[in-house]
Structure 1
């Protein structure tokens, strides 16, 4: 994996979404919304940008008669996030942080 700065991922809310997905691979929309402290519309917009880039999928399922929305990394999304984090680490090392 080559470190690569990714402006799609780097936006603060999108970076946080990816960070929440990284250890799990899939997470419920409401958990991400509460973790970020944003509205449904803000999270939907940011998730849509990541989906359009091919970095995550958005799926819906009925769980105990309630409609739930799930966000999940695609393989390309996981790779892009890892490369972005590697680039941030490389930059931090250059800065001596």
Structure 2
């Protein structure tokens, strides 16, 4: 039985990977606004998830300005599905 993933269980990280699950990738600034966190907080979460292989990031230019794009990897999508399944199992145990 696969359990909760401590790497994505933290609320901001769970919101980050959940937000990314609906798109191929998103701009850093869009994610910062969606999660209502500072650049440094989002950067730390993204870095930890990139290091784990759950996210990928790339630098680019959009609208004439430099930006970072972030997306879920296949491992990240699998980790999110497994985590959600574990949460559902816990919920099912509640009377």
Query: Between Structure 1 and Structure 2, how many residues are aligned?
Result: 95
Question: Structure 1 length normalisation: TM-score?
Answer: 0.91
Query: CA RMSD, aligned part only?
Result: 1.2
Question: Structure 2 length normalisation: TM-score?
Answer: 0.93
Rounded Cα–Cα distance in structure 2 between residues aligned with 1:82 and 1:90: 12
Q: Does 1:80 align with 2:89?
A: no
Which runs of 4 or more aligned residues in structure 1 lie more than 6 Å from their structure 2 counterparts after TM superposition? none
Rounded Cα–Cα distance in structure 2 between residues aligned with 1:3 and 1:88: 10
Unaligned runs of 5+ in 1: none
Q: Which string of whole-angstrom CA distances, capped at 9 and with x for unpartnered residues, describes residues 30-64 of structure 1?
A: 11101111100000001111011000011111123
Q: CA deviation at 1:5?
A: 1.1
Residue aligning to 1:68:
67
| 51-60 vs 3-12, which moves further | 3-12
